């Protein structure tokens, strides 16, 4: 039985991926932009909403930081599990596509 | 330049603000209560025409709100008007290279409209039931009479038969109570209907999740 939260949106996937290290929202946006070669540009309102949602799902958590103005987040254990499940799903898709010579 | 305008949705408000801005102005202040928008003329030396974007937020803690504003500021959006107690947050693009939008996917844009819609619906229920409550308590004191006769609003027995000083004394003492009882009812009714219209107008604009 597949987890009800899968598949993840591209935005969610990227955020979880970059939050393997502790980052604040804007740093995560910058990092995603860089990792995706400017293909994925998450805007501020979308980022804020996504963070709220991921905090509620407990896939990320706030971690203490020296920055007074920005909250810093990191992946939780359940976040890691969901990221693993999604990666397995994508890997399977990719393998399947390869069978069809793509 | 000051303009007064009432909007029924975030999308139409945002569109209008950007139309005004495109004519060579920029938004400097918003008074939500008066529906008043203050614009200033862009200096002729600048070719940069900033964009305004509206985000609807629920009440946030002080710390979360600061983090929220900082995230927008880092991304090139300056807060023109907003409050941590919720409602519309007005953001102005602060430099040319900044993002053109505050939402980069359709889901989050619709989630924004949905927040506004739910807030409007909740407030229409609160204000309309207040108005009804006022009407009912008033009716139970005077009998249910729907004619608009302000003399009925005064409950002092025989007030309209009093003469001279005793009339004015009774009249002036009771007027604040009358105003509170009746005008607040109409005020609540108007505000309630505004939010009802807003929630209905917004309702057809996006797909329900």
Confidence band, pLDDT 50/70/90 cuts, at residue B147? low
Residue that the structure tokens 């862009």 belong to: B42
As a whole number of angstroms, the distance between CA B20 and CA B23 comes to 5
Residue of B nearest to A24 (CA): B71
Ordered by where they begin, the domains of chain A are 10-99 (1.10.10.10)
Q: Does A80 touch chain B (CB under 8 A)?
A: no
Q: pLDDT tens digit string along B30-79?
A: 998 889 999 998 887 777 889 999 999 999 999 999 999 999 999 999 99
Q: Which residues of A touch B107 (CB under 8 A)?
A: 9
ipTM surpasses 0.85: yes
Residue B53, beta-bridge partner list: B91
Instruction: Order the strands of the B36-41 sheet from edge to edge.
Output: B2-4, B36-41, B25-31
Q: Is the pLDDT of residue B209 over 60?
A: no
As a whole number of angstroms, the distance between CA A20 and CA A40 comes to 18
CB-count burial class (<10 Å; 0-12, 13-18, 19+) for B78: middle
Backbone angles phi, psi at A47, to 5 degrees: -65, -45
Q: pLDDT tens digit string along B92-143?
A: 998 887 788 999 988 899 999 999 988 999 999 999 998 888 777 766 666 6
Residue of B nearest to A29 (CA): B75
B90, B27 Cβ separation under 8 angstroms = yes
């Amino acid at each position: 039985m597949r987890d009800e939260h899968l598949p993840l949106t591209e935005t969610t996937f990227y955020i979880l991926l970059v939050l393997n290290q502790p980052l604040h929202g804007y740093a995560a946006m910058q990092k995603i932009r860089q990792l995706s070669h400017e293909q994925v540009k998450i805007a501020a309102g979308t980022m804020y909403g996504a963070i709220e949602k991921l905090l509620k799902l407990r896939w990320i958590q706030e971690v203490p930081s020296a920055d007074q103005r920005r909250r810093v987040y990191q992946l939780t254990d359940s976040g890691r599990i969901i990221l693993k499940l999604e990666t397995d799903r994508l890997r399977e898709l990719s393998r399947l596509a390869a069978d069809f010579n793509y | 330049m000051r303009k007064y305008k009432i909007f029924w949705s975030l999308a139409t408000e945002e569109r209008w603000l950007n139309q005004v801005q495109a004519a060579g102005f920029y938004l400097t202040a918003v008074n939500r209560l008066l529906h008043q928008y203050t614009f200033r003329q862009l200096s002729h030396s600048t070719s940069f025409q900033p964009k305004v974007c509206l985000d609807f937020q629920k009440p946030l803690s002080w710390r979360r709100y600061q983090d929220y504003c900082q995230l927008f500021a880092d991304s090139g959006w300056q807060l023109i008007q907003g409050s941590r107690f919720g409602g519309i947050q007005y953001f102005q693009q602060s430099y040319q290279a900044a993002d053109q939008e505050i939402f980069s996917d359709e889901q989050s844009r619709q989630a924004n409209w949905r927040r506004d819609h739910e807030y409007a619906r909740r407030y229409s229920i609160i204000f309309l039931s207040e108005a009804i409550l006022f009407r009912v308590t008033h009716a139970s004191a005077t009998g249910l009479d729907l004619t608009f006769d302000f003399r009925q609003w005064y409950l002092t027995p025989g007030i309209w038969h009093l003469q001279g000083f005793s009339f004015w004394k009774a009249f002036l003492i009771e007027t604040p109570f009358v105003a509170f009882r009746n005008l607040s009812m109409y005020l609540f009714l108007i505000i309630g209907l505004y939010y009802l219209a807003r929630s209905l107008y917004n309702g057809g604009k996006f797909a329900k999740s």
